Every structure is written in structure tokens, then in C-alpha cells.
Amino acid sequence: MLSDELPSPQFIAPVRARANEGKFQRVQVSVLGRYMLADRREFPCQVLEMSPGDAIVIAPAAGQVGERVIAYLDQIGRIEGTIINQIEGGFLMDIAASPRKRDKMAAQLTWLANKDVLNLPEDRRHERVVPDIRHSTVVLDDGRRYNCKIIDISLSGAAIELDVRPAIGTPVTLGRMRARVMRHFQDGVAVEFSSAQEMLTVVQQNLRMN
């Protein structure tokens, strides 16, 4: 629990700017991820400043102003929007999101911007990363098989894009790993492995399709 004794000027939150209720104030972060341009090319990226409404992205390919971008960011998840300006070494993108998703993003950004200042613990048991192997399969116990795309992985689970939504608690096989569906989100599901793995390289090897 945060204490009132913490010096308030050090605490940062991505609040709405008073001058314009439609804009958000960006906070400084250092978030790695991957992004995809409209032609479906994918590149690694780093976000240096972000709000629930836009983000400054350092990227090897800047794209064109007005071009649609989809990004998967560590500890943030999937965001999408359009490039609104090119900058040196990257671009500024707006973020298209529902009010509910913006509220969630604001909480995530507040945690990221203040975790070092406030000595906050990690909000997940294991660090999540974007894997080198992005495509895999999900097999249900009745034999139904679905192609999926991995959003991120950790030693204990994964978030995956999936066209179907098995009920929470459903046992599945992801690649060669037994898992259980833990939650749903807009584009897929999060699963927890039946047993935590020791190394992320092992997780990636086991994501390979049978």
C-alpha cells in the first residue's frame, strides 16, 4: 500500500491534460516489443514515452503518416493505431482503444513509470517476453486443433491470439505443452502451463507445432 509519506512530485501518472480533455499526458517508460506495419512487415521496437492515447516509438522502419500500426508491448500487450508523425529514429502513433482499455492502460503505465521510484514489486510472477517463434497450435482434449499466434510468453504461461474462446479452465495443449485457459481478452486467451518451465528457451522449443 502506498504511503502518504512518499514525496508526491516523484509520482507520475498519465492523466488527462487539463488544457484539452481529449489528450493524455505522456509518461517516460522503456518498453520493448514488436510492431507490424500495414504491409505486414514486423520489426522490434522500443517505446520511450506513452499515454493511453499515443506513444513515441523508436523503430527501424518508420512507416508513413496515416499508416495503421499494430504493436505488442512487454507488460502492456496489444495496441493499435495510426502513425501521426515521423520522428528521428521512429514515429509517433495514436492509440485506438475503448475507454475501458484506456483506463487499464493508464494503470499499467502508472505502474511502469513509478515502479523504480516506489520500489514496487513485479505484477506478474514471471517476466513476459515476445518469443522468436510466434506461430503454434492449440489442441483441445476432443482433438480439435487451431492455429494461433503467440503474443508473449513467460515461464508459467502465454497470451495467444486465437479465433475461438475455450471456456476458462479448459485443458489445452499449446505446441507440446499442457496448459489451462485462465482468462479471455479481445483477440484471444491467456493460458497457464501445467508446470512452470525452467528456461524461456525451453518454452520456445515446446511452442513448435507438432
Distance between CA 130 and CA 136 in Å, rounded? 14
pLDDT in tens, 182-208: 888 777 888 988 876 667 777 778 777
Domain coordinates in residue numbering, the chain:
8-114, 135-206
Considering only residues 66 and 111, tell me which one the structure prediction assigns the higher pLDDT: 66
DSSP H/E element including 189: strand 188-193
* Distance separating alpha carbons of residues 28 and 60, to the nearest angstrom: 20
What torsion do the CA atoms of 157, 117, 12, 56 make, to the nearest 10 degrees?
-60
CATH topology of domain 8-114: Thrombin, subunit H (2.40.10)
Tracing cell 508526491 back to the chain, one arrives at 8
Name the pTM for this structure: 0.50
Instruction: Give the amino acid at 41.
Output: R
Confidence check: pLDDT of 56 > 90: yes
Angle, vertex CA 34, rays to CA 187 and CA 60, nearest 5? 145
Residue 153 has pLDDT above 90, yes or no: no
